[in-house]
Structure 1
Amino acid sequence: MPLRPASLAVRAYDTVLRQIPVDEAWVEAIRALVARGPVVYVLRNVSLVDLLALDALTRRFGLPPLGFANELGAWVEAPAWSLKKPSAEERIRHALEGGQSAVLFLKRPPERILPRPGNVQRGRSGGDEPLRALLAMQREATAAGRGKDIMLVPQTFLWTQRPGNLRVSFTDTLFGPAEFPGELRAAAQVLLNYKHCAIRAGEPVRLGAFLAEQEEAREAAKAAGTSEEAAGAERALRFAEASTDDAVLARRLTYALLRRLERERRAMVGPAQKPADRVREEVLRSPKLQAVIRELAGSGDEGRLLLEQKARRTLRSLQADPDPATLRGLEMLADTLASRVYAGIDVDKEGIERVREAARRGSIVLLPSHKSHVDYLLMSWVLRKHALQLPVVAAGDNLSFFPVGPLFRRAGAFFIRRSFKGDRLYAAVVDAYIRRLLRDGYAIEFFLEGGRSRTGKLLPPKLGLLNMVVEAGLALENRTISFVPISIGYERMMEEGSFARELSGGVKQKESVGELLKIGSVLQEKYGRANMEFGQILTLDEMREAVGIAPGEPVPPAKRRALVTRLAHRVMSEMNRATLVTPGSLVATALLCHSRRGLPHVELLAQCERLTALLRRLGARTAPSLTRPSGEMRELAVREAALLYVRGGLVRQHVPGDTLTGKARKRARIYTGDDVIYTVPQESRILLDLAKNVIVHLLVDRALISTALLAHTEGQGLAGEVREARDVRRPPTRAELEERVRSLSRLFKLEFMFRADAPFEQIFEETSRAMAEDGEIAFDGDVVRFGPGREGLDGRGWVGFYASVLRNFLEGYRIAARAARVLVKGGLTEKELVGRALQVGEQMFLGAEIERSEAVSRPVIENALAAFVDQGYLRREEGKLVLAESFASEEAVQTIEGRIAGYLQRRSGDLGW
């Protein structure tokens, strides 16, 4: 038979069509559907470009070729030799029964000044006749017992990620809007974006199952119509009669398919953009905002008009104004960043698909962890690469300076203050703006921690913006609001230098053009791999049910606060659970938690291997670069992570015997033998601590038990007194150990995020039992001892390692306790006391009273002082910290340090690894 026009066109455009990126999941999904029955690809509107691309893809992957298209069919259908033109039903039947697939266009684009090439009629539905034919074919197949359903597959080609625009341009008038492009515009989109094309198959409709559902609905309606007590009997009977009409069924099927196509498209590009001034006016008409304005203005129109003008100016200063050209430019910048600065970016592909499904169902709220300014760029880059709509991002107003502010605004950022306290109008404007974003279907992104974490650990959640989002979501009864916890991680962070200065007491530098110009030197470094993982998605409906709020029920403030608090802690827990264990975090933990001056490479490998096995048993996710599919650790990953730190100056690599001269040190930097020894300079420990803290939450439960066990067995008493020799090695009872762990967990309740799904007693029981099963501890009746160990390490070694993970935190709290002695003379502001503590910590480290230089850390000391207030050692009075009455003497205040020192070994040497 002669070649079809599509074959010739595909050959002409083969260079382009061959480079269309295709997700393997799409191919596998279509093959699975082909195995279940004939496939009909359903596209929203007539498009020759889409038809040619689909024809090329079916050939490229060996899928059933296209044999029918209800519009533009001559491009893919074999020429008919009969003088009688076959009907659409005959043509589609011939194609599907012959093992081919079909294409069904549902809609034609709106009228344009320039006509579509070819004589295509307008003003009628393009899919009704083929759908009625498919319904008839499905009934015949079901009656004949052939069993296979015809599979209607909603198919979306995204040639450009530019969303629709409600403002009609001259280009749209001539060549069709972006969502309904004509052939000329579509061809231009293909040529410009074919390397970035996205192809998605929506949820298929099984035609046999659809007919069965309609039959069930018809029978139920007839039953309801014959019941005298049934309400709406006449309406039910009319429905039952209409359900037998194929024209009615075709319209219902069309609506179902269009809805699935629209959900898929919205998940990819988001809602159509409105002009900025229109958005402002819609926000200003918010009833809640207007109520606040009237309340603040009082009687008279003059005050109300002034407040409306102020609200309009506020909106103009905070509002996002996404611009596709800017987003495309930033994508190119992110591509460069990803290829030159990072060795790679690991993305949770299963998590991405969960986000896509949530975006199909309704509005999504993205809640990433916040460790770096790169988070903004990386988040949008990953979403764009996976054809998901880009969010509008809540950013601090400290980033609104020129030229970054206008750029971020066009990238989708809206700028808000860190605090709304005392400004009801500002809070009401932000609230109304967020309500409008959710109502319009935008994805929203903000950092629940508020600011960047300087320690590597997650910060406690800030509830202000989350409360606004939840309140707005509760007002949208018919929309599903999904909250997506996201963990973003780095082996090294670009801001590590500034973080080290701040952690050691330096003043945080305000973002400015001057700081921006310094980024050139930062970009010359290599920062290993970045990663993005997604936790369990939480819906607002699920959280409502968890706190006992029925659908449609008014939500009192107390219950809303409970809902927001519960949601925040669930999100933070999911971030921790999704955090990826990387080679860099393992190497940092091993280097910081051993007690000798240097660590040989062979021992580093052994320690990382033990840690990898442990963390996998605890359910942690591991980076693809760290482990093989079998779960075994890759030794090369550890070496590469160690070399990353060596090249960055965080770790020194020594070749035994000749590393004392400068020339030898240069040789050591490129030496790769197994006999190298790694050391960590004291000034670099605080930087490695950032990487260690990324996974510290996975070990903290065991670390608390181990610290308490060692303190009772081999250390000092809780008040700091040295024990009598006969008591020094007495192991604790289970009750004694539990009580000490309880005291530690109370002390650290602001430092770590403990599990919120169980009480302390349950967590202690589960953790101690797991440690006993692993051979780390043993129960001898009611007494707790060291266990036999495992993997070449005895029980005392495991317990010592866990305790070493917490040592720098205990030492930091001891520093804060020592500094609190100065309060005997009078109160100090927190800033003054923290500064004093940092000086005291430096003296204690140089005097060998503490071992870890990373203990001299501003955030740790701030958390310690907050814990002392919570414990009742200190209190806040007129903006100052003062000693509580029972600790206001020199002798009493010393007991605070004594209690903390009681958990510390005099030396960590010979403990652990």
Structure 2
Amino acid sequence: MQINPLMFDVIEIPVWCVWLAGILACIGLLDRILMPTVRWYLKRRLDRAVEVLNNKLDLKIQPFKLTKRRVLIDRLTNDPTVVQAILNHSAEENTPFAVSQHLAERYAREIVPAFSAAIYFKVAIRLARWISTALYRVRLGYVDRKALQALDKDATVIFVMNHRSNMDYVLVTYLAARRSALAYAVGEWARVWPLKPLIKSMGGYFIRRRSHSKLYRQVLARYVQMATEAGVAQAVFPEGQLTRDGRLQPAKLGLLNYIISGFDPNGTRDVHFVPVGLNYDRVIEDRILIASHRGERTKTVVKIREFFRFVGKYLWLRLRGRMYRFGYASVSFGAPISLKEFIAGRPKSSHEASTKALGKVLMARVGEAVPVLPVSLIARVFLTNTKAQLSIAQVHSKAKRELDRLLEAGAYMHVPRADFEYAVEVGLRMLVLRHAIRHEDDKYQLNPQHSDIISYYAQSIAHLA
């Protein structure tokens, strides 16, 4: 056999090729050997962390929340109901199936969260605690502990809340931290950086409340139903938006209808709705909301400017040691409502009729849970005495009569330091600082220029009277 002498010649290779080959070899080594080991180690640590958390939480983190986001998106897009909705959309819009399917997948990517237990429990809850306690004196109001402790551990728990402020998300996350990781239904306003990735990592999902697309609504409905069937603890605001005039608004039935229409009364998993009532001595965005109620259009640029103005003023006062917290913020938890029992106690009817009935019951229970706070009580006093000049003794007397009437109707009031006179002083001080009440010659009188502030806070407990 003849050997080719060229086989033993030296071949010169550029240095950059050697470096490139070495880098590619290292990447291959990491991908095939080291990365699987690291992923296994991290997953093992995550599983242990979730197991520890589940031992501490009243409502365990369900496997559905820990499923990879890509898997959930595929499950949702290929769900038989969604596939049928894609076919209907293609026929109605006269578009190819692939185009409609791509649109449905885009909706699914928009809706499906990317829950991270580490971010929720190590970042979000600590941040929520810091923000809540920095701005308010946070108090837990009435809690029906026996009813909450008797909840079926396998049931899906949905916290149903009134919507007074964007602080609602922060406050309830903080106060419900020991119970579970809540998945919020969040409006489009939060689809901005850095809120969007943070909310998704906390398990929240976004809702286009004004969307008229049947395909979008079907994708959203199936996600809500899948999460409910899997036992994911959720928090929803049936009012759909912040109250503009302070009153408790009637329920918008979209999410409730999705839940009821996908619910099997004969199934093994029940759904429990927990009414949650929130109230504040001061709602941070109250003037913007009141202006909106008057019909004044507030541009997004103005809202952003006001936000940064508020943050700047807060930090400046804090640095100077002159920052006072915005009074009290309180949350009450009412007795849960079982969906199985609610349906069993009603004559057979359509999902729409059941949803309307459930919406009314839930909002009534939420209204009952709203706590009375010093500012709302004093606002009620001056709303019924718009022109009177009242001494501090007269304010005490009228506030006591108003409170007795509310308590007889079943209301709950947080009395700071268990001292009613101090509570009255807190309410007066807050409203005087807001210029809603004038304090002259030891007399208190409503300021007509800011009567809308008085009305706004008085209306927060009007349904209790």
TM-score band by shorter chain is 0.7 to 0.9
Whether 2:323 is the aligned partner of 1:323: answer no
Instruction: Indicate the SS of the match to 1:620.
Output: coil
Q: Which residue does 1:682 correspond to in 2?
A: 448
Q: Which of 266, 269, 276 is residue 61 of structure 2 equivalent to? A: 269
Q: Judging changes above 3 Å, is the alpha-carbon distance between structure 1 residues 175 and 461 closer, same or farther for their aligned structure 2 residues?
A: closer
8 Å CA contact 2:290, 2:456 repeated in 1: no
- Equivalent residues of 1:297, 1:304 under 8 A apart: yes
SS in 2 for 1:547: coil
How many angstroms apart in 1 are the aligned matches of 2:306 and 2:229? 38
**CA 1:268–1:625 in 2, change beyond 3 Å: closer, same or farther?**
farther
Verify: 1:427 aligned to 2:193, yes or no: no
Question: Could you tell me which of 508, 515, 539 is aligned with 2:338?
Answer: 539
Give 1:616's aligned residue: 407
Question: Partners in 2 of 1:489 and 1:544 — Cα distance?
Answer: 31
Describe how 1:853-868 pairs up with structure 2 within 5 A: none
Which residue in the other structure is 1:562 paired with? Answer: 353
Q: Which amino acid aligns with 1:607?
A: K
- Residue 471 of structure 1 is aligned with which of 261, 268, 281? 261
Given the alignment of the two structures, is residue 638 of structure 1 paired with residue 427 of structure 2, yes or no?
no
Q: Relative to 1, partners in 2 of residues 1:535 and 1:361: Cα closer, same or farther, differing over 3 Å? A: same
Is residue 496 of structure 1 aligned with residue 262 of structure 2?
Answer: no
Residues 394 and 175 of structure 1, relative CA distance in 2, 3 Å threshold: closer
Quote the residue 1:262 is aligned against: none
Select which of 526, 530, 541 maps to 2:329.
530
| Alpha-carbon offset, residue 586 of structure 1 | 1.4
1:304 to 84, 97, 104: 97
Cα distance between partner residues in 2 of 1:513 and 1:634: 38
CA distances 1:294-313 after superposition (whole Å, capped 9, x unpaired): 233359xx922222211111
Pair 1:393-2:187 in alignment: no
CA distance in 1, matches of 2:383, 2:186: 34
Give the drift of 1:462: 0.7
Change (3 A) 1:294 1:378: same
- 2:341 aligned partner, one-letter code: E
Secondary structure (helix, strand or coil) at the match of 1:456 reads coil
2:276 counterpart residue number: 486
- Deviates further, 515-524 or 310-319: 515-524
Is the contact between residue 143 and residue 333 of structure 2 (CA under 8 Å) also seen in structure 1?
no
Out of 144, 153, 175, the residue aligned to residue 382 of structure 1 is 175
Count of residues paired in the alignment:
419
Task: Output the CA distance in 1 between the equivalents of 2:412 and 2:350.
Answer: 34
Alignment of 1:497-512 (within 5 A): 497-510=287-300
Measure, in 2, the Cα distance between the counterparts of 1:579 and 1:493. Answer: 15
- Alpha-carbon distance in structure 2 between the residues aligned to 1:651 and 1:580: 22
Q: Match of 1:473, SS?
A: coil
Question: What is the SS of the residue equivalent to 2:160?
Answer: strand
Q: SS of the counterpart of 1:348?
A: strand
Q: Give the letter aligned to residue 140 of structure 2.
A: D
Write out per-residue CA displacement over residues 131-156 of structure 1, whole angstroms, 9 at most, x where no aligned residue.
Answer: xxxxxxxxxxxxxxxxxxxxxxxxxx
Paired with 2:204 and 2:37, the residues of 1 have a C-alpha distance of 25
Deviation per CA, 1:60-90, whole angstroms, max 9, x where unpaired?
A: xxxxxxxxxxxxxxxxxxxxxxxxxxxxxxx
CA contact (8 A) 1:267 1:359 kept: no
SS of 2:59's equivalent in the other structure is helix
* Letter in structure 2 aligned against 1:645: L
State the TM-score, normalized to the length of structure 2: 0.82
SS at match of 1:358: coil
Offset at residue 179 of structure 1 (A): 4.2
Unaligned regions of 5+ residues in structure 1, if any?
Answer: 1-167, 190-196, 201-264, 550-557, 657-675, 700-913
User: Secondary structure of the residue that 2:422 maps to in structure 1?
Assistant: helix
- The 1:518–1:403 alpha-carbon spacing in structure 2 relative to 1, beyond 3 Å, is farther
- What is the identity percentage for the equivalent residue pairs of Structure 1 and Structure 2? 20
* Contact in 2 for aligned 1:543/1:563 (Cα 8 Å): no
Give the distance between the partners of 1:515 and 1:615, measured in 2 at CA: 35
**Cα distance in 1 for residues equivalent to 2:358 and 2:134:** 38
Contact 1:371 1:456 in 2 (8 A): yes
2:79 corresponds in structure 1 to 286
Partner of 1:170: 38
Report matched runs for 1:598-747 at 5 Å.
Answer: 598-625=389-416, 628=418, 634-654=420-440, 656=441, 676-699=442-465
Structure 1 residue 638: Cα displacement: 0.8
Deviation at residue 566 of structure 1 after TM alignment: 0.7
Query: In 2, Cα distance between the equivalents of 1:575 and 1:388?
Result: 19
The Cα RMSD (Å) is 3.0
Q: How many angstroms apart in 2 are the aligned matches of 1:647 and 1:438?
A: 45
Code of the aligned partner of 1:373: N
Residue by residue, what CA displacement relative to the aligned partner does 1:656-691 show, whole Å, maximum 9, x if unpaired?
2xxxxxxxxxxxxxxxxxxx2112222221112121
In structure 2, C-alpha distance between the alignment counterparts of 1:332 and 1:601, rounded to whole Å: 40
Where do residues 832-843 of structure 1 align in structure 2 (5 Å cutoff)? none
**1:317–1:175 distance in 2 versus 1, CA, 3 Å:** closer
SS at match of 1:321: coil
Q: Residues 775-826 of structure 1, C-alpha deviation per residue, up to 9 Å, x if partnerless?
A: xxxxxxxxxxxxxxxxxxxxxxxxxxxxxxxxxxxxxxxxxxxxxxxxxxxx
Q: Identify the residue that residue 520 of structure 1 maps to in structure 2.
A: 311
Whether the 8 Å CA contact 1:526–1:644 is kept in 2: the answer is no
| TM-aligned CA deviation for residue 169 of structure 1 | 7.7
2:364 corresponds in structure 1 to 573
Structure of greater relative contact order (alpha carbons < 8 Å, 6+ residues apart): 2
Query: Please, what TM-score do these two structures have when normalized by structure 1?
Result: 0.43
**Which of the residues 151, 165, 181 maps onto 1:372?**
165
Distance 1:530 1:478 in 2: 38
CA contact (8 A) 2:156 2:228 kept: yes
Q: Which blocks of at least 5 consecutive residues in structure 2 are unaligned?
A: 1-35, 315-322
Residue identity matched to 1:566? A
2:160–2:273 contact (8 Å) kept in structure 1: yes
Preserved CA contact (<8 Å) 1:533 1:579: yes
CA distance in 2, matches of 1:406, 1:441: 23
Check the 8 A contact 1:297/1:307 in 2, yes or no: yes
SS class of match (1:346)? strand
The one-character-per-residue Cα deviations of 1:449-472 (angstroms, maximum 9, x if unpaired) are 011101121111111221011112
Distance 1:425 1:442, change over 3 A: same
1:314 to partner: Cα distance: 1.0
Corresponding letter in the other structure for 1:506: E
